[in-house]
Amino acid sequence: MYQITPTQFFYPLSVLYHESGLEVTPSQEAPEGTLALWRCDDLEDGSLLGAATLQMRAGHHVLAHLAVAEPARGQGLGAELLAVAEAQAVRLGAKELWLVGKVPDFYRQFHWVEVPREDAPPISKCLTCDQFQVDCFPSIMRKVLPR
């Protein structure tokens, strides 16, 4: 059994993001523009199973990070975290939500669509990252949110 809750503490989430292969350096401080953070904890042992971060970047709502710990994958936690973040974006008045996804097939099943880089807002630093197109091939994706 697990529980998803809002949090103000970025450090444990940043460690999970980093260990999950996201370009996040573990830090006590949440990135600039962070609107909300969520953690998903195992209710039996208290371990961190997953996390998500919603940010505002360049005037756009962005699902900045979403990760599920390896042993907890395939149980629907990622889908639940995604739904929580999308619902919060709607509450904040967002008409659309953006992300840079390393696993675009995961997001496609929830009606996210890939957007050509030249048509996307400047929400990513991928083009300046050393891993871009070397061992990281992310997709910029967008979802139109319900009103």
Domain of 137, in residue numbers: 2-144
Summarised one tens digit per residue, pLDDT across range 10-45 is 999 999 999 998 889 999 999 999 999 999 999 999
The alpha carbon of 74 is separated from its chain's Cα centroid by a whole number of angstroms, namely: 17
Taking 70 as the threshold, does the pLDDT of residue 97 lie above it? yes
Distinct helix (H) and strand (E) counts, the chain: 3, 7
Here the CATH number for the domain that contains residue 88 is: 3.40.630.30
pTM: 0.91
Cβ(63)–Cβ(82) below 8 Å: yes
Q: How many domains does the chain have?
A: 1
